């Protein structure tokens, strides 16, 4: 969702409910894992040529109060759609959901996705199916994730929750009010490395890129750290020069980060890295583990370098 978008959360009726059942009307924030988006895009690429969009089921975790939903997984659901009608293989959906929950008991059904930004009557029918009692997400609202897959344009994701509307239960079955909710694509450090590697192929004509060696990965990591240090240094200088507004929270965060730095002189680190690299290069064994071992030794010790050097074992001639 674009940063400029704003949201208005309303308490809304969620359609007919059983006696004593209380639906959740709390605002929802959606967190999306990259692997779920990749599965959706892969599903879209494999769709038949005469099919405009594909749909599937979203699975993940939900907070205890239902206000935060974490989408971690998904699977495709066969369906056919024309201008007059839509047919979804409900039996396939139920069987796949049962098998998936058996293999991943910690995940739950959270909603469904479609590779189109359009919302129509068919979308309302499918939304009501996923949000129903029994096999649906009731009493929590089902999340509808739309991912645009138009050629030549960057994919855009949007998330909605819906509520059946209508004066009669029959009318409510094919009607739905879609309410946009904020979302965030969340990934960890390990996933960031994979995403950066995949993103490197976007500027190549063949859309392919080779994997990098361990020493190249270390070099990029060091360059990334140096870039972050430069940005922090520029911010601090701008605050001291009264060119930027100070932030107490950011200052406390930087202070905590600096307190974790090992008490080792930079010259000593450079000397030991040079010795390690020079020794390994002599035998043609310049490897990433040797360098990372050196970093780990100095990072885990607050003693002087001479007290840590005895832990290093180098090959001898």
Q: Are the CB atoms for 117 and 151 separated by under 8 Å?
A: no
Dihedral angle computed from the Cα positions of residues 135, 137, 143 and 148, in that order, rounded to the nearest 10 degrees: -10
pTM of the model: 0.61
Using one digit for the tens of pLDDT, what is the confidence trace for 150-180? 777 778 899 998 876 765 666 556 677 888 8
Give the Cα separation of 72 and 268 in Å (integer): 45
Domains of the chain: 29-190 (3.40.140.10), 262-317 (no CATH)
pLDDT above 70 (res 135)? yes
Using one digit for the tens of pLDDT, what is the confidence trace for 190-242? 777 777 777 777 777 777 777 777 788 788 888 888 898 898 889 888 988 88
Per-residue confidence (pLDDT) for residue 60, from 0 to 100: 93
Using one digit for the tens of pLDDT, what is the confidence trace for 66-90? 788 999 999 999 988 877 788 888 8
Structure tokens at 180: 């946009």
Handedness of CA 132, 133, 136, 140 (dihedral sign): positive
State CA 148 to chain mean position distance: 17
CA angle at 234 for the pair 228 and 240, rounded to the nearest 5°: 140
Tell me whether strands 86-88 and 108-114 are parallel, antiparallel or unpaired. unpaired
What is the residue-averaged pLDDT of the chain?
Answer: 75
Per-residue confidence (pLDDT) for residue 298, from 0 to 100: 44
Per-residue confidence (pLDDT) for residue 246, from 0 to 100: 87
Q: Which of 103, 77, 104, 101 is nearest to 91 (CA)?
A: 77
């Amino acid at each position: 969702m674009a940063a400029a978008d704003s949201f208005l959360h309303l308490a809304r009726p969620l359609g007919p409910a059983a006696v004593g059942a209380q639906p959740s009307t709390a605002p929802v924030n959606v967190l999306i894992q990259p692997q779920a988006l990749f599965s959706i895009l892969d599903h879209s690429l494999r769709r038949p040529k005469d099919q405009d969009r594909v749909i599937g089921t979203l699975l993940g975790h939900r907070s205890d109060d239902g206000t935060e939903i974490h989408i971690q997984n998904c699977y495709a659901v066969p369906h056919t759609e024309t201008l007059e009608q839509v047919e979804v293989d409900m039996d396939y959906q139920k069987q796949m959901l049962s098998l998936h929950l058996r293999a991943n008991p910690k995940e739950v059904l959270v909603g469904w996705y479609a590779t189109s930004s359009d919302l129509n009557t068919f979308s309302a029918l499918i939304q009501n199916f996923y949000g129903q009692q029994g096999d649906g997400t009731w009493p929590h609202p089902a999340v509808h994730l739309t991912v645009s897959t138009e050629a030549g344009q960057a994919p855009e994701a949007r998330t909605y929750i819906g509520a059946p509307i209508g004066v009669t239960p029959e009318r409510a079955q094919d009607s739905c009010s879609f309410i946009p909710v904020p979302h965030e694509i969340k990934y960890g450090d390990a996933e960031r490395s994979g995403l950066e590697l995949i993103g490197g192929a976007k500027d190549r004509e063949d859309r392919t890129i080779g994997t990098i060696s361990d020493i190249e990965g270390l070099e990029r990591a060091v360059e990334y750290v140096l870039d972050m240090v430069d940005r922090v240094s520029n911010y601090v200088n701008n605050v001291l020069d009264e060119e930027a507004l100070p932030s107490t929270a950011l200052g406390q965060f930087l202070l905590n980060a600096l307190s974790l730095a090992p008490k080792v002189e930079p010259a000593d680190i450079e000397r030991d890295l040079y010795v390690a690299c020079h020794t390994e290069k002599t035998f043609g064994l310049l490897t990433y583990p040797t360098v990372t071992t050196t970093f780990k030794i100095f990072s885990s010790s607050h003693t002087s370098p001479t007290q840590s050097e005895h832990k290093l074992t180098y090959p001898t001639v």
